[in-house]
A and B are shown apart, each in its own frame.
Chain A
Amino acid sequence: MHENASALQLIRAGDPALFATVRLSLIVSLSALAISAALGIPFGASIALTHFRGRESVIVLLNALMGLPPVVVGLAVYLLLSRSGLLGTLGILFTPAAMVIAQTILVTPILAALARQTIEDLWAEYSDELTAMNVGPLSRVTTLIWDGRFSLVVALLAGFGRAAAEVGAIIIVGGNINGFTRTMTTTIALETSKGDLALALGLGAVLIAIVIVINGLAWLARRVGERIAG
Protein backbone atom coordinates (compact mmCIF):
# COMPACT_ATOMS: atom_id res chain seq x y z
CA MET A 1 0.00 0.00 0.00
CA HIS A 2 1.27 3.45 -0.80
CA GLU A 3 3.16 5.29 1.88
CA ASN A 4 1.74 8.49 3.25
CA ALA A 5 -1.67 7.96 1.71
CA SER A 6 -4.81 8.09 3.82
CA ALA A 7 -7.39 5.34 3.56
CA LEU A 8 -9.80 7.69 1.79
CA GLN A 9 -7.21 8.64 -0.80
CA LEU A 10 -6.54 5.00 -1.48
CA ILE A 11 -10.23 4.33 -2.02
CA ARG A 12 -10.60 7.29 -4.36
CA ALA A 13 -7.54 6.28 -6.32
CA GLY A 14 -8.86 2.72 -6.56
CA ASP A 15 -5.62 1.44 -5.10
CA PRO A 16 -5.36 -2.18 -6.33
CA ALA A 17 -3.56 -3.33 -3.19
CA LEU A 18 -6.41 -2.05 -1.01
CA PHE A 19 -9.05 -3.72 -3.14
CA ALA A 20 -7.10 -6.97 -3.25
CA THR A 21 -6.89 -6.86 0.54
CA VAL A 22 -10.63 -6.27 0.92
CA ARG A 23 -11.34 -9.04 -1.57
CA LEU A 24 -9.15 -11.49 0.31
CA SER A 25 -10.75 -10.57 3.65
CA LEU A 26 -14.21 -11.24 2.23
CA ILE A 27 -13.21 -14.47 0.52
CA VAL A 28 -11.61 -15.86 3.67
CA SER A 29 -14.39 -14.80 6.05
CA LEU A 30 -17.27 -15.77 3.79
CA SER A 31 -15.72 -19.13 2.92
CA ALA A 32 -15.18 -19.86 6.58
CA LEU A 33 -18.77 -18.81 7.27
CA ALA A 34 -20.16 -21.07 4.55
CA ILE A 35 -18.26 -24.11 5.75
CA SER A 36 -19.09 -23.36 9.37
CA ALA A 37 -22.77 -23.09 8.49
CA ALA A 38 -22.72 -26.38 6.62
CA LEU A 39 -21.08 -28.05 9.62
CA GLY A 40 -22.49 -26.16 12.56
CA ILE A 41 -26.16 -25.67 11.82
CA PRO A 42 -27.07 -29.32 11.21
CA PHE A 43 -24.93 -30.29 14.20
CA GLY A 44 -26.67 -27.77 16.45
CA ALA A 45 -30.04 -28.88 15.12
CA SER A 46 -29.39 -32.53 15.86
CA ILE A 47 -28.29 -31.74 19.40
CA ALA A 48 -31.52 -29.79 19.81
CA LEU A 49 -33.62 -32.72 18.69
CA THR A 50 -31.99 -35.78 20.18
CA HIS A 51 -31.69 -36.81 23.77
CA PHE A 52 -28.66 -38.74 24.85
CA ARG A 53 -26.60 -39.26 27.92
CA GLY A 54 -24.36 -36.26 28.57
CA ARG A 55 -26.45 -33.93 26.42
CA GLU A 56 -26.30 -31.15 28.98
CA SER A 57 -22.49 -31.37 29.12
CA VAL A 58 -22.26 -31.20 25.34
CA ILE A 59 -24.38 -28.07 25.33
CA VAL A 60 -22.24 -26.43 28.01
CA LEU A 61 -19.10 -27.32 26.07
CA LEU A 62 -20.55 -26.03 22.82
CA ASN A 63 -21.45 -22.70 24.39
CA ALA A 64 -17.99 -22.46 25.94
CA LEU A 65 -16.32 -23.10 22.59
CA MET A 66 -17.85 -19.88 21.30
CA GLY A 67 -15.15 -18.19 23.36
CA LEU A 68 -12.19 -20.07 21.89
CA PRO A 69 -9.19 -17.73 21.96
CA PRO A 70 -8.27 -17.06 18.32
CA VAL A 71 -4.56 -16.94 18.96
CA VAL A 72 -4.64 -20.39 20.57
CA VAL A 73 -6.58 -21.81 17.63
CA GLY A 74 -4.07 -20.15 15.30
CA LEU A 75 -1.19 -21.79 17.10
CA ALA A 76 -2.85 -25.22 17.07
CA VAL A 77 -3.66 -25.01 13.36
CA TYR A 78 -0.14 -23.75 12.65
CA LEU A 79 1.40 -26.76 14.35
CA LEU A 80 -0.99 -29.06 12.52
CA LEU A 81 -0.27 -27.63 9.08
CA SER A 82 3.46 -27.09 9.57
CA ARG A 83 5.73 -29.28 7.45
CA SER A 84 6.69 -31.03 10.64
CA GLY A 85 3.06 -31.38 11.63
CA LEU A 86 0.42 -34.05 11.08
CA LEU A 87 -0.98 -32.50 7.92
CA GLY A 88 2.33 -31.02 6.76
CA THR A 89 2.39 -32.90 3.48
CA LEU A 90 -0.56 -30.81 2.30
CA GLY A 91 1.70 -27.78 2.24
CA ILE A 92 -1.04 -25.26 2.92
CA LEU A 93 0.54 -23.33 5.76
CA PHE A 94 0.88 -19.62 4.97
CA THR A 95 -1.90 -19.79 2.39
CA PRO A 96 -5.48 -18.45 2.44
CA ALA A 97 -6.73 -22.03 2.87
CA ALA A 98 -5.04 -22.19 6.27
CA MET A 99 -6.77 -18.96 7.26
CA VAL A 100 -10.13 -20.36 6.23
CA ILE A 101 -9.50 -23.46 8.32
CA ALA A 102 -8.58 -21.47 11.41
CA GLN A 103 -11.60 -19.22 11.10
CA THR A 104 -13.92 -22.14 10.46
CA ILE A 105 -12.78 -23.67 13.74
CA LEU A 106 -13.60 -20.40 15.50
CA VAL A 107 -16.96 -19.78 13.85
CA THR A 108 -18.50 -23.26 13.79
CA PRO A 109 -19.18 -23.39 17.56
CA ILE A 110 -20.95 -20.03 17.34
CA LEU A 111 -23.28 -21.24 14.62
CA ALA A 112 -23.80 -24.60 16.28
CA ALA A 113 -24.60 -23.14 19.70
CA LEU A 114 -26.95 -20.47 18.35
CA ALA A 115 -28.60 -22.91 15.96
CA ARG A 116 -29.16 -25.33 18.81
CA GLN A 117 -30.94 -22.71 20.87
CA THR A 118 -33.04 -21.48 17.95
CA ILE A 119 -34.01 -24.96 16.84
CA GLU A 120 -34.73 -26.10 20.38
CA ASP A 121 -37.08 -23.18 20.97
CA LEU A 122 -38.81 -23.81 17.67
CA TRP A 123 -39.06 -27.52 18.36
CA ALA A 124 -40.80 -26.83 21.64
CA GLU A 125 -43.45 -25.11 19.56
CA TYR A 126 -43.61 -27.53 16.63
CA SER A 127 -43.01 -30.92 18.21
CA ASP A 128 -46.65 -31.90 18.73
CA GLU A 129 -47.67 -31.00 15.19
CA LEU A 130 -44.67 -32.56 13.46
CA THR A 131 -44.97 -35.74 15.48
CA ALA A 132 -48.69 -35.97 14.76
CA MET A 133 -47.97 -35.44 11.06
CA ASN A 134 -45.55 -38.36 11.18
CA VAL A 135 -42.65 -36.25 9.92
CA GLY A 136 -39.40 -38.21 9.78
CA PRO A 137 -36.22 -37.14 11.63
CA LEU A 138 -34.40 -35.69 8.63
CA SER A 139 -37.47 -33.82 7.52
CA ARG A 140 -37.89 -32.41 11.02
CA VAL A 141 -34.40 -30.93 10.91
CA THR A 142 -34.90 -29.31 7.52
CA THR A 143 -38.32 -27.98 8.50
CA LEU A 144 -36.98 -26.40 11.68
CA ILE A 145 -33.97 -24.92 9.92
CA TRP A 146 -36.18 -23.46 7.19
CA ASP A 147 -38.83 -22.12 9.53
CA GLY A 148 -36.16 -20.77 11.86
CA ARG A 149 -34.19 -19.18 9.05
CA PHE A 150 -34.57 -15.58 10.19
CA SER A 151 -33.07 -16.30 13.60
CA LEU A 152 -30.41 -18.38 11.93
CA VAL A 153 -29.50 -15.44 9.72
CA VAL A 154 -28.71 -13.48 12.86
CA ALA A 155 -26.49 -16.35 13.93
CA LEU A 156 -24.77 -16.20 10.55
CA LEU A 157 -24.17 -12.50 10.98
CA ALA A 158 -22.65 -13.16 14.40
CA GLY A 159 -20.38 -15.75 12.84
CA PHE A 160 -19.43 -13.41 10.02
CA GLY A 161 -18.68 -10.64 12.49
CA ARG A 162 -16.35 -12.90 14.39
CA ALA A 163 -14.53 -13.98 11.24
CA ALA A 164 -14.23 -10.52 9.75
CA ALA A 165 -12.86 -9.04 12.97
CA GLU A 166 -10.39 -11.82 13.62
CA VAL A 167 -6.67 -11.24 13.37
CA GLY A 168 -4.89 -13.40 15.96
CA ALA A 169 -5.37 -16.75 14.27
CA ILE A 170 -5.00 -15.71 10.65
CA ILE A 171 -1.82 -13.77 11.23
CA ILE A 172 -0.18 -16.89 12.64
CA VAL A 173 -1.36 -19.41 10.07
CA GLY A 174 -1.33 -17.00 7.13
CA GLY A 175 1.98 -15.29 7.79
CA ASN A 176 0.61 -11.89 6.71
CA ILE A 177 2.36 -12.24 3.37
CA ASN A 178 2.11 -9.14 1.24
CA GLY A 179 -0.24 -9.65 -1.69
CA PHE A 180 -1.09 -13.18 -0.65
CA THR A 181 -2.34 -13.61 2.89
CA ARG A 182 -2.69 -10.05 4.00
CA THR A 183 -6.25 -9.13 4.98
CA MET A 184 -7.83 -5.95 6.29
CA THR A 185 -7.27 -6.87 9.92
CA THR A 186 -3.69 -8.07 9.46
CA THR A 187 -2.91 -4.94 7.46
CA ILE A 188 -4.29 -2.81 10.27
CA ALA A 189 -2.06 -4.70 12.72
CA LEU A 190 0.94 -4.17 10.44
CA GLU A 191 0.34 -0.46 9.85
CA THR A 192 -0.10 0.01 13.58
CA SER A 193 3.24 -1.59 14.26
CA LYS A 194 4.82 0.58 11.59
CA GLY A 195 3.47 3.58 13.40
CA ASP A 196 1.11 4.67 10.62
CA LEU A 197 -1.82 4.97 12.99
CA ALA A 198 -3.81 7.25 10.71
CA LEU A 199 -3.81 4.70 7.92
CA ALA A 200 -4.59 1.91 10.37
CA LEU A 201 -7.62 3.82 11.68
CA GLY A 202 -8.75 4.62 8.17
CA LEU A 203 -8.58 0.98 7.17
CA GLY A 204 -10.44 0.11 10.34
CA ALA A 205 -13.22 2.45 9.31
CA VAL A 206 -13.35 0.81 5.89
CA LEU A 207 -13.62 -2.61 7.49
CA ILE A 208 -16.43 -1.51 9.81
CA ALA A 209 -18.25 0.07 6.86
CA ILE A 210 -18.07 -3.20 4.93
CA VAL A 211 -19.43 -5.18 7.87
CA ILE A 212 -22.28 -2.68 8.26
CA VAL A 213 -23.12 -3.00 4.57
CA ILE A 214 -23.26 -6.77 4.85
CA ASN A 215 -25.52 -6.56 7.88
CA GLY A 216 -27.70 -4.13 5.94
CA LEU A 217 -27.99 -6.57 3.07
CA ALA A 218 -29.01 -9.32 5.46
CA TRP A 219 -31.68 -7.07 6.98
CA LEU A 220 -32.96 -6.29 3.49
CA ALA A 221 -33.11 -9.97 2.61
CA ARG A 222 -35.09 -10.60 5.78
CA ARG A 223 -37.62 -7.88 5.01
CA VAL A 224 -38.17 -9.23 1.53
CA GLY A 225 -38.40 -12.76 2.86
CA GLU A 226 -40.88 -11.79 5.56
CA ARG A 227 -43.09 -10.07 3.07
CA ILE A 228 -43.21 -13.19 0.96
CA ALA A 229 -43.61 -15.80 3.64
CA GLY A 230 -45.04 -14.19 6.74
Chain B
Amino acid sequence: MMRAMATDLPIRFDGVTIASRTVTLLDRVTLQIEAGAPTVFIGPNGSGKTTLLRTAMGLLVPTRGRITCGGVEKSPPIHRAFVFQRPAMLRRTVAGNLRYALRAARIAPAGREKRIEELLALVGLDGFEKRPARRLSGGEQQRLALARALARDPVVLFLDEPTASLDPASTKAIEDVIRAIAASGVKIVMSTHDLGEARRLAGEIILLHRGRIIERAAATEFLNSPKTEEARRFVAGELLV
Protein backbone atom coordinates (compact mmCIF):
# COMPACT_ATOMS: atom_id res chain seq x y z
CA MET B 1 0.00 0.00 0.00
CA MET B 2 1.36 3.38 -0.93
CA ARG B 3 1.78 5.74 1.92
CA ALA B 4 1.60 9.29 0.61
CA MET B 5 3.05 12.15 2.60
CA ALA B 6 2.07 11.42 6.20
CA THR B 7 -0.60 13.98 7.06
CA ASP B 8 -2.05 14.04 10.58
CA LEU B 9 1.31 12.95 12.00
CA PRO B 10 2.92 13.74 14.29
CA ILE B 11 0.12 14.03 16.83
CA ARG B 12 1.13 16.53 19.49
CA PHE B 13 -0.47 17.04 22.89
CA ASP B 14 0.59 20.28 24.61
CA GLY B 15 -0.42 20.41 28.27
CA VAL B 16 -3.78 18.87 27.47
CA THR B 17 -6.23 18.64 30.33
CA ILE B 18 -9.70 17.15 30.08
CA ALA B 19 -11.62 17.83 33.25
CA SER B 20 -15.17 18.39 34.42
CA ARG B 21 -16.24 19.99 37.67
CA THR B 22 -15.93 16.70 39.48
CA VAL B 23 -13.27 14.62 37.76
CA THR B 24 -10.04 15.03 35.84
CA LEU B 25 -9.62 12.56 33.01
CA LEU B 26 -6.38 13.86 31.50
CA ASP B 27 -3.95 15.90 33.57
CA ARG B 28 -1.57 18.18 31.67
CA VAL B 29 -0.59 15.57 29.13
CA THR B 30 2.26 16.50 26.82
CA LEU B 31 3.43 14.01 24.24
CA GLN B 32 4.18 13.52 20.56
CA ILE B 33 3.21 10.46 18.57
CA GLU B 34 5.34 9.89 15.48
CA ALA B 35 4.91 7.72 12.43
CA GLY B 36 6.30 4.21 12.70
CA ALA B 37 5.66 1.15 14.80
CA PRO B 38 2.44 0.81 16.85
CA THR B 39 2.08 2.97 19.97
CA VAL B 40 0.22 1.11 22.70
CA PHE B 41 -1.27 2.77 25.78
CA ILE B 42 -1.65 0.64 28.89
CA GLY B 43 -2.92 1.33 32.38
CA PRO B 44 -5.72 0.42 34.78
CA ASN B 45 -9.37 1.17 34.03
CA GLY B 46 -10.10 4.85 34.43
CA SER B 47 -6.50 5.84 33.77
CA GLY B 48 -7.51 7.92 30.77
CA LYS B 49 -6.60 5.62 27.88
CA THR B 50 -9.95 5.93 26.14
CA THR B 51 -10.08 9.65 26.80
CA LEU B 52 -6.65 10.18 25.31
CA LEU B 53 -7.44 8.23 22.18
CA ARG B 54 -10.75 10.01 21.67
CA THR B 55 -9.11 13.36 22.17
CA ALA B 56 -6.39 12.55 19.66
CA MET B 57 -9.08 11.51 17.19
CA GLY B 58 -10.87 14.81 17.66
CA LEU B 59 -13.99 13.49 19.44
CA LEU B 60 -13.21 15.41 22.64
CA VAL B 61 -12.18 19.01 23.06
CA PRO B 62 -9.51 19.74 25.69
CA THR B 63 -10.48 21.88 28.65
CA ARG B 64 -6.97 23.28 28.58
CA GLY B 65 -4.01 22.91 26.22
CA ARG B 66 -4.00 22.09 22.55
CA ILE B 67 -3.68 19.18 20.16
CA THR B 68 -2.29 19.30 16.66
CA CYS B 69 -2.30 16.61 14.01
CA GLY B 70 0.42 17.13 11.46
CA GLY B 71 0.73 20.67 12.77
CA VAL B 72 -2.96 21.46 12.30
CA GLU B 73 -5.27 22.17 15.21
CA LYS B 74 -8.88 20.89 15.03
CA SER B 75 -8.23 19.04 11.78
CA PRO B 76 -11.21 17.07 10.44
CA PRO B 77 -10.83 13.28 10.77
CA ILE B 78 -10.15 12.60 7.10
CA HIS B 79 -6.93 10.65 7.48
CA ARG B 80 -7.68 9.26 10.92
CA ALA B 81 -10.02 6.40 11.74
CA PHE B 82 -11.27 4.91 14.99
CA VAL B 83 -12.31 1.43 16.07
CA PHE B 84 -14.43 1.74 19.23
CA GLN B 85 -14.39 -0.79 22.03
CA ARG B 86 -18.00 -1.70 21.36
CA PRO B 87 -18.54 -0.63 17.78
CA ALA B 88 -22.02 0.30 16.61
CA MET B 89 -23.25 -1.72 13.67
CA LEU B 90 -25.34 0.24 11.20
CA ARG B 91 -28.69 -1.39 10.53
CA ARG B 92 -27.54 -2.71 7.21
CA THR B 93 -25.72 -5.67 5.78
CA VAL B 94 -21.97 -6.16 6.17
CA ALA B 95 -21.41 -4.83 2.66
CA GLY B 96 -23.86 -2.04 3.37
CA ASN B 97 -21.81 -0.90 6.35
CA LEU B 98 -18.66 -0.78 4.25
CA ARG B 99 -20.43 0.96 1.41
CA TYR B 100 -21.58 3.58 3.89
CA ALA B 101 -18.05 4.07 5.21
CA LEU B 102 -16.68 4.40 1.68
CA ARG B 103 -19.31 6.97 0.81
CA ALA B 104 -18.60 8.91 3.98
CA ALA B 105 -14.91 8.88 3.05
CA ARG B 106 -15.88 10.23 -0.37
CA ILE B 107 -14.32 7.30 -2.22
CA ALA B 108 -15.40 7.39 -5.87
CA PRO B 109 -18.37 5.06 -6.61
CA ALA B 110 -16.48 3.29 -9.38
CA GLY B 111 -13.99 1.51 -7.14
CA ARG B 112 -16.31 0.82 -4.19
CA GLU B 113 -17.42 -2.74 -4.79
CA LYS B 114 -13.87 -3.90 -5.42
CA ARG B 115 -12.65 -2.15 -2.30
CA ILE B 116 -15.41 -3.82 -0.28
CA GLU B 117 -14.16 -7.22 -1.41
CA GLU B 118 -10.58 -6.31 -0.59
CA LEU B 119 -11.46 -5.09 2.88
CA LEU B 120 -13.58 -8.13 3.69
CA ALA B 121 -10.76 -10.41 2.56
CA LEU B 122 -8.29 -8.47 4.68
CA VAL B 123 -10.27 -8.97 7.89
CA GLY B 124 -11.35 -12.47 7.04
CA LEU B 125 -15.04 -11.77 6.43
CA ASP B 126 -15.26 -12.84 2.79
CA GLY B 127 -18.63 -14.28 1.98
CA PHE B 128 -20.31 -12.21 4.69
CA GLU B 129 -21.49 -9.45 2.33
CA LYS B 130 -25.21 -10.03 2.65
CA ARG B 131 -25.31 -10.82 6.35
CA PRO B 132 -27.14 -8.30 8.52
CA ALA B 133 -24.32 -6.63 10.45
CA ARG B 134 -26.18 -6.68 13.75
CA ARG B 135 -26.41 -10.46 13.67
CA LEU B 136 -22.65 -11.02 13.59
CA SER B 137 -20.82 -12.37 16.60
CA GLY B 138 -18.71 -10.06 18.78
CA GLY B 139 -15.50 -10.99 17.04
CA GLU B 140 -17.04 -10.65 13.60
CA GLN B 141 -18.44 -7.22 14.47
CA GLN B 142 -15.05 -6.08 15.67
CA ARG B 143 -13.53 -7.21 12.39
CA LEU B 144 -16.21 -5.38 10.45
CA ALA B 145 -15.51 -2.25 12.48
CA LEU B 146 -11.86 -2.64 11.56
CA ALA B 147 -12.70 -3.01 7.88
CA ARG B 148 -14.96 0.03 8.13
CA ALA B 149 -12.19 2.11 9.66
CA LEU B 150 -9.78 1.03 6.94
CA ALA B 151 -12.25 2.03 4.23
CA ARG B 152 -10.95 5.57 4.26
CA ASP B 153 -7.34 4.44 3.87
CA PRO B 154 -6.28 6.19 7.07
CA VAL B 155 -2.82 7.38 7.97
CA VAL B 156 -3.52 6.83 11.68
CA LEU B 157 -5.75 4.06 13.03
CA PHE B 158 -6.94 4.32 16.63
CA LEU B 159 -8.19 1.19 18.38
CA ASP B 160 -9.72 1.39 21.86
CA GLU B 161 -9.25 -1.98 23.60
CA PRO B 162 -10.24 -3.80 20.41
CA THR B 163 -10.07 -7.31 21.88
CA ALA B 164 -11.35 -6.59 25.39
CA SER B 165 -14.55 -8.58 25.05
CA LEU B 166 -13.36 -11.26 22.63
CA ASP B 167 -12.44 -14.90 22.97
CA PRO B 168 -8.82 -15.94 22.22
CA ALA B 169 -9.53 -17.10 18.67
CA SER B 170 -11.15 -13.80 17.71
CA THR B 171 -8.44 -11.91 19.55
CA LYS B 172 -5.78 -13.66 17.49
CA ALA B 173 -7.68 -12.89 14.29
CA ILE B 174 -7.86 -9.20 15.13
CA GLU B 175 -4.25 -8.99 16.22
CA ASP B 176 -3.15 -10.64 12.98
CA VAL B 177 -4.99 -7.99 11.00
CA ILE B 178 -3.53 -5.20 13.11
CA ARG B 179 -0.07 -6.56 12.51
CA ALA B 180 -0.70 -6.72 8.77
CA ILE B 181 -2.02 -3.16 8.69
CA ALA B 182 0.91 -1.86 10.70
CA ALA B 183 3.29 -3.59 8.34
CA SER B 184 1.66 -1.84 5.41
CA GLY B 185 2.52 1.55 6.84
CA VAL B 186 -0.57 2.63 8.82
CA LYS B 187 0.31 4.15 12.19
CA ILE B 188 -1.44 2.16 14.91
CA VAL B 189 -2.37 3.96 18.14
CA MET B 190 -4.22 1.65 20.49
CA SER B 191 -5.00 0.90 24.10
CA THR B 192 -5.17 -2.42 25.88
CA HIS B 193 -5.37 -3.72 29.41
CA ASP B 194 -3.70 -6.97 28.34
CA LEU B 195 0.07 -6.83 28.87
CA GLY B 196 0.48 -9.85 26.63
CA GLU B 197 -1.18 -8.01 23.79
CA ALA B 198 1.08 -5.03 24.38
CA ARG B 199 4.04 -7.36 24.19
CA ARG B 200 2.72 -8.91 20.96
CA LEU B 201 1.86 -5.74 19.09
CA ALA B 202 3.66 -2.70 20.50
CA GLY B 203 6.58 -0.84 19.05
CA GLU B 204 6.47 1.50 22.05
CA ILE B 205 4.44 1.39 25.24
CA ILE B 206 3.06 4.32 27.22
CA LEU B 207 1.72 3.78 30.76
CA LEU B 208 -1.12 6.03 31.92
CA HIS B 209 -2.32 6.40 35.48
CA ARG B 210 -4.90 8.84 36.74
CA GLY B 211 -4.73 10.90 33.57
CA ARG B 212 -0.95 11.30 33.59
CA ILE B 213 1.83 9.72 31.57
CA ILE B 214 3.94 7.66 33.95
CA GLU B 215 6.45 6.07 31.62
CA ARG B 216 7.12 5.73 27.92
CA ALA B 217 9.63 3.40 26.31
CA ALA B 218 10.23 0.97 23.50
CA ALA B 219 8.21 -2.19 24.10
CA THR B 220 10.90 -4.67 25.13
CA GLU B 221 12.67 -2.09 27.28
CA PHE B 222 9.43 -1.18 29.06
CA LEU B 223 8.43 -4.74 29.75
CA ASN B 224 11.85 -6.09 30.72
CA SER B 225 13.24 -3.13 32.67
CA PRO B 226 10.54 -0.64 33.63
CA LYS B 227 12.03 2.48 35.18
CA THR B 228 9.24 3.92 37.38
CA GLU B 229 7.76 2.40 40.51
CA GLU B 230 4.24 2.30 39.01
CA ALA B 231 5.50 0.70 35.81
CA ARG B 232 7.34 -1.99 37.73
CA ARG B 233 4.30 -2.76 39.85
CA PHE B 234 1.99 -2.76 36.80
CA VAL B 235 4.27 -5.09 34.85
CA ALA B 236 4.49 -7.31 37.92
CA GLY B 237 0.76 -7.63 37.82
CA GLU B 238 -0.15 -5.48 40.81
CA LEU B 239 -3.24 -3.28 40.96
CA LEU B 240 -2.50 0.40 40.58
CA VAL B 241 -5.06 2.29 42.55
A contacts, CB < 8 Å to B: 125-126, 128-135, 139, 143, 147, 229-230
Q: Judging by beta carbons under 8 Å apart, are A229 and B132 in contact? A: yes
Q: Apart from A133-B104, A229-B96, A230-B91, what are 5 other A-B pairs with CB-CB below 8 Å? A: A131-B59, A132-B84, A147-B90, A229-B91, A230-B135
* B71 is an interface residue with CB less than 8 A from chain A: no
* B88 is an interface residue with CB less than 8 A from chain A: yes
**Which one of B15-23, B75-83, B175-183 is at the A interface?**
B75-83
Total A-B residue contacts, Cβ distance less than 8 Å: 54
A132–B59 Cα gap in the complex (Å)? Answer: 7
A132–B146 Cα gap in the complex (Å)? Answer: 13
* Contact among B76, B84, B92 with A147 in the assembled complex (CB-CB below 8 Å): B92
Q: Judging by beta carbons under 8 Å apart, are B104 and A147 in contact? A: no
Q: Judging by beta carbons under 8 Å apart, are B105 and A133 in contact? A: yes
Residues of chain B contacted by A126 (CB below 8 angstroms): 88, 90
A230-B81 CB under 8 A given contacts A131-B59, A132-B57, A147-B91: no
Which of A126, A132, A230 gathers most chain B CB within 10 Å? A132
Binary contact readout B106-150 vs A (1 if CB under 8 angstroms, 0 otherwise): 000000000000000000000000011111000000000000110
* B87 is an interface residue with CB less than 8 A from chain A: yes
Binary contact readout B44-76 vs A (1 if CB under 8 angstroms, 0 otherwise): 000000000000010100000000000000001
Distance (whole angstroms) from the CB of A132 to the closest CB of chain B: 4
* B93 is an interface residue with CB less than 8 A from chain A: yes
* B101 is an interface residue with CB less than 8 A from chain A: yes
Nearest B residue to A227, CB-CB? B132
Nearest B residue to A124, CB-CB? B88
A140–B132 Cα gap in the complex (Å)? Answer: 21
A-B contact pairs, 9 of them (CB 8 A): A128-B82, A131-B77, A132-B77, A133-B100, A133-B152, A135-B104, A143-B100, A230-B93, A230-B134
Distance (whole angstroms) from the CB of B60 to the closest CB of chain A: 10
Residues of chain A contacted by B90 (CB below 8 angstroms): 126, 129, 143, 147
Q: Judging by beta carbons under 8 Å apart, are B92 and A134 in contact? A: no
A128–B54 Cα gap in the complex (Å)? Answer: 10
A135–B151 Cα gap in the complex (Å)? Answer: 14
Q: Judging by beta carbons under 8 Å apart, are B88 and A230 in contact? A: no
Residues of chain A contacted by B92 (CB below 8 angstroms): 147, 229-230
A143–B101 Cα gap in the complex (Å)? Answer: 12
Nearest A residue to B145, CB-CB? A129
A132-B81 CB under 8 A given contacts A139-B104, A147-B90, A230-B135: yes
Residues of chain B contacted by A129 (CB below 8 angstroms): 84, 87-88, 90, 148
